[in-house]
Chains A and B, each alone.
Chain A
């Protein structure tokens, strides 16, 4: 095959034009006037399987940044959130994390929604704090992260317990579990199985699935053997709805039980008819506290509706505790090692003792004042009381929900013991 040489003149012109465009954009991005900015990152899936969650979590993050800035901002700086898309894909996640660390140079990140293990190679060695709103697997607790990894949601060890017990409570004597082939699915399936069996239930089958496939008939047929009372479907809405629809149209299952990953209006909207009416599930519990009420009110005011998926309040809390920790750390500590400074103050602002802070603009104003005066505070989050233990884990309530009139309605909150 013959090949012509690159036309150097044309190539040069193209290059020049690209540079001009880049130059113009760099002007647009730079702040027009001198207001000091504090950048933090947010690493959430805006596309792929978890996109619906990502969208809602982003709303939570933006709402938090808005409130923090209305309260004056940490150390009187404007809090700015840089978003990077993790695409619900481990490779893209790692790539985006590296960009946040090396290009955007943020000291703290809200996210990722899943796979906090990016901490070990990327964020922790660079002294960047990550606070995941939703990474529930049990292994996150023991991650090698030099204490740079936090989460504002409970471990799946707790959700699995509630889910397994709920299955028995709902009078299911036998069950099959279909879980997504990732650390979240595997971990939750194990702990759910353990607690269902402890409640004298019997697991007839357990299988994993890969997302994005056209058909899950093979797994469903395998799991339907022995006619279990219920299919416990541990996964995410995108492929989850394909599975539900196939199970229904093949007549293999009619009863389902869902964890947090499926707590989305999308599964109801995508499955026509009233097939899912009366099904139960678990998810991150809304704390029945003033912070959550204030959060809901403000969320409605700004977005005109309740959060469409779970975890937006957890993300909100993540942004807030970072901002409060920045205020507590002070400018000098931020200059030398901002990530470490934030890490060291997170427990100070989130855990007792100290004056309780409610999630609201007034609350944050008060918090900034108290911290400036050198006093101790204890942030009570919208997702729970947000007290980090020595692993960076929190205990947030677990919600039991059910589907009623094609909507997800809360049944009760279980406070883990």
Chain B
């Protein structure tokens, strides 16, 4: 069980990275960005592209990748930010100026999601890819826990980024402006918050997080054009569960989804075994997230950390 808990934390930390970006967009730009999952895939694939261009840089001791992947990820973040800001300039900004409703914006982002996925399919094809096909044998730790060094890296990387975003939101003027926009956009505008710059920085933070999250998912699992689309469900569940706009909510929501998806079916399976009932619970794994979000919304309609509407 402890082993599954650890593996849930690793998966959960990738979800949390994505969920923080998504929740910022949802609260500051006031719509659910369905294209976020496919930006996740695009980020991972652009990293793959640079990794390929950079050639073999060797691997860090113990890890499955080396400096090449780090540099590729940084370059990928830059390219992704350029792409995302261009998309905002030519796609979302006209819609905003149009005073499109949040529903309209969400549907438009859904269209964008299809376009992005089609582009990935055209450029990279439908085949699955790996940054490194080498298999890492996991290290044995006490309590039956097994972790790969890569997984440790994923958790550390997530912690560092989450701390950075937290500091930006808490300590900088821009962070305060972002929180103000998310709390009450009308009041924020009235008190002289520069909306345009706040929106730009929201995209920059969310774009960086999603690119890194995509790359981490690529290291841990694999790259496939539909990776982000499937990842969207846990992301949304995490954001809704945590409460839209809540930093801590997204972080904890992501962890809860990651851990519960890994553990709940196993717990149920063991319970059935001890009752001598022969049932295969593994097929119900995808239902876990949904049952959880329904339960939480029944108890706390605005999510764990959500605030009531103004």
Contacts and interface: CB of A to CB of B under 8 A. Distances in A.
B285 A55 contact: no
B282 A51 contact: no
Contacts of B157: none
Interface in A37-54: 46-48, 51-52, 54
Interface in B73-96: none
A218 B99 contact: no
B133 A272 contact: yes
B135 A271 contact: yes
A218 B137 contact: no
B3 A221 contact: yes
A52 B282 contact: no
A18 interface: no
A249 B136 contact: yes
A212 B4 contact: no
Nearest to A247: B135
A181 interface: yes
A207 B280 contact: yes
Given A209-B282, A210-B285, A218 B266 contact: yes
Interface residues of A, number: 42
B309 interface: no
A213 interface: yes
Interface in B50-109: 98-102
A414 interface: no
A209 B11 CA distance: 17
Contacts of B127: 51-52, 266
Contact of A251 (B146, B285, B286): B146
Contact of B222 (A55, A251, A270): A270
B148 A249 contact: yes
Nearest to B227: A212
Interface in A266-323: 266, 269-273, 275
B137 A208 contact: no
A223 to B, nearest CB: 9
Interface string A64-81: 000000000000000000
Interface of A: 1-4, 46-48, 51-52, 54-55, 181, 206-210, 212-215, 217-219, 221-222, 237-238, 241-242, 245, 248-251, 266, 269-273, 275
Interface of B: 3-4, 7, 11, 14, 98-102, 121, 125-128, 130, 132-138, 146, 148, 217, 220-222, 224-227, 230, 261-263, 265-266, 269, 280, 282-283, 285-286
